[in-house]
Chains A and B, each alone.
Chain A
Amino acid sequence: MQEQSTQSVIARLGFEPEMAQLRERIARWVAGCSEELREALEWQFLTGSKYFRPLTIFSCYRAVHEGPIPEQIMQSALVIELFHNVSLIIDDIVDRSPTRRGRATMHTKFGELSALMTSGYIVAEGYLQLKDDLAGIALFSELLKRLGVAECMQWRLRRQPLGVEDWRKIAGEDTGSMFEVCACLGDRSSQLRTFGGLLGLLYHGCDDVGDVKGLAALGGGGEEDLRDGILTLPAALAIRAPAAARIFCDPEGGDLAELGRHFVAKLPEAEDYLDKIAEEGRTEARLFAVNPAPLIALIEQTRQLSRY
C-alpha cells in the first residue's frame, strides 16, 4: 500500500520518466558489476524499492528550479539509492533481521562476509559514479559519516531513560541526515537542508509509530527495537512513566509485552507530535521554496506512513 502511494506521488509530480530512467541506470550498473557479486546486487537492487530518496532529490530540484532534471541530479539520485541500500544491508546485519520487504535479507541469503564486502563495493562504485561532482562527493561523505555516528550513538544510548528531545537528536542524525543530504543534492544551495531534516525526522517517527501499530495489530514489526531498547518516539513518550522506564532499561527483569502495551497507549500522543513535525516541514517548504507543492506532497505522503 505504501509502495502504491509513493507511485501515485511520483505520477502526480510527473517524475515517472525520470524514475524509469533511474531504474534502467541501476539495472545497467548492476549488469556492469563484478560477476562475483552480481547475484547479490541483483537480489538487493532489482526488486521492491520505492525510490523515495531519489523522489526527494527530484522534488527538491523542482522546488527551486524549472526545466528538465539535469544529468548531475540523475547521477545523485542513482548514488543515493546505492548508499541507501548500503545502510539497509548494514542495518539488517546489526539488527539480525532475517527478512526485509518480505524477502530474505542479503546477509541471510548470501552470508555476512558477502553482505559486508558488497557494501564496501557499492560505496566505492557510488563515489566513482559521481565523477567530478565535488559538491556531491562532499555531501555523500557527510552522509556516510553521519550515518555511522548515528548508528553508534543509537546503540550506545539504548535502554536509557531519555526523552523526546534525545529521540529527535538521534532520529535527526539517522534518517534526518539522509533526507537533509537528499534536499541539498536536489536544490544544490542548501536552502532546503532544514526541510530535508524535518522530512527525515517525520519519516523516522512515522516508521517508529508504524512499527508499534504493526506490533499491536499484526504481532509483527518493531520487535527488534523493543528487544534492544532502542529509543523510538513511542518509547520516549512511554518511558516518562516510571513503570515503563523500569522495563525499558532492564528488559531481562520485565515483561516486554507489558512494555509494548505502554508504547501502544502513547500512540495518540506520538501521532500528535508527528503532526507538529509535519507542520514545521510545510512551513519550511512555504518559506524557502519557489515552488513548495512537490515538497508538501512529500510531507503528506510521509505522514501517511504511520496511518496504514
Chain B
Amino acid sequence: MRDAFLAGAALTESLTAPSMAGGNPAARPPATGPLGPMMGVLGAMTDFAAASRQRFNEADAGSRSSPLGQNHTAAADLLLPIGHAMTITANRSVSYWLGLIQIFESHQANLVQVVGVEPSEGSAPGSERLIAADELRALLREVGDLATREARILQNELSTLDENLAQSFQQPDLAGSYNRRWRSKV
C-alpha cells in the first residue's frame, strides 16, 4: 500500500517533465506569458501534492513509532489509502492541465492563423480554410487523446491501490492455499 502511494506521489515529481503531446518543451514560454497565471496555479497544485505526500509519510512513520502504535496503525490503514487516492487524483488532474497547456502552446501559431482565415467565396472551400480546419481537428483530437490517456493512467493507479488495499486487509488465517491470487480489476 505504501509502495502504491509512493509510486503515485512520485508522479508529482515528474509533472514538470515534458509530456509528448505534440509540445516542444524548449519552446515553452516563461511563466510571464499569456499562460503564466495558469502555470502559477498548476505550480501551486504541484507543491500541494508534494506537501501532501510528505505529510502522509510523516503520519505513517509517526503511527508506527508511537506507544499507541497499534491503534494508530489501524486508523492509518484506513486513512492512508484515502490520502493516497486523493494524491493520485490530484496528480492526474495537474498532469492533465499541464498536458493541455502544452497542446495549446504547440498549436498556438496555427490557432492564430485559423482566426485570421478569411471566409472563402463561392461553394468550394479555399485551401487555407481546409488547412485551418485540419489543424483545428488535430488540436481537438490531441485534447481528446490526452483526456483518455490521463483517465486510463488514473484508473490503473487507483486499481493498483485498490489491489494493495485488498491484499493488506486480507485475513491472516486465509494465508497459504487461500491466499488471493486474482487482481480485483484487470
Contact partner of A164 (CB less than 8 A), chosen from B138, B148, B153, is B138
CB distance from B84 to the nearest CB of A (A): 20
Q: Is the CB of A283 within 8 A of B138?
A: no
Q: A287-B149, A287-B153, A288-B152 are in contact. Are A240 and B138 (CB under 8 A)?
A: no
Does B43 count as interface, using CB distance less than 8 angstroms? Answer: no
List 9 A-B residue pairs with CB atoms under 8 Å apart, sorted by A's residue number. Answer: A163-B133, A164-B138, A194-B148, A194-B149, A194-B152, A241-B127, A279-B20, A287-B149, A288-B156
Q: How far is the CA of A276 from the CA of B103 in the complex (A)?
A: 13
The reply on B130 being an interface residue by CB < 8 A is yes
SS class, residues of chain A in contact with chain B: helix
Where the two chains meet, the residues of A that have a C-beta atom closer than 8 Å to any C-beta of B are 161, 163-165, 168, 189, 194, 240-242, 245, 276, 279-280, 282-284, 287-288
**Which 7 A-B pairs give the minimum distances between C-beta atoms?**
A163-B134, A165-B137, A283-B20, A242-B127, A189-B186, A279-B20, A240-B131
Question: For the complex, is B180 an interface residue (Cβ under 8 Å from A)?
Answer: no
Which residues of B lie under 8 Å from residue A284 when comparing CB positions?
149
Are B141 and A163 neighbours in the complex by a CB distance under 8 Å?
Answer: no
B side interface size, CB within 8 A: 17
**Do the beta carbons of A163 and B130 come within 8 Å of each other?**
yes
Smallest CB gap from A167: residue in B: B134
- B127 with A240: CB separation less than 8 A: yes
- When chains A and B are docked, how far (Å) is the Cα of A196 from the Cα of B14? 26
A283 cross-chain contacts in B, Cβ below 8 A: 19-20
List the A side residues contacting B149 at CB < 8 Å: 194, 284, 287
Q: Provide the residues of chain B in CB contact with A288, threshold 8 Å.
A: 152, 156
Q: Look across to chain A and name the residue whose beta carbon is closest to the beta carbon of B131.
A: A240
Q: Give complex CA distance A161, B141 in Å.
A: 20
Question: Is B83 in contact with chain A by the CB < 8 A criterion?
Answer: no
The answer for the CA separation of A165 and B88 in the assembled complex, in Å, is 33
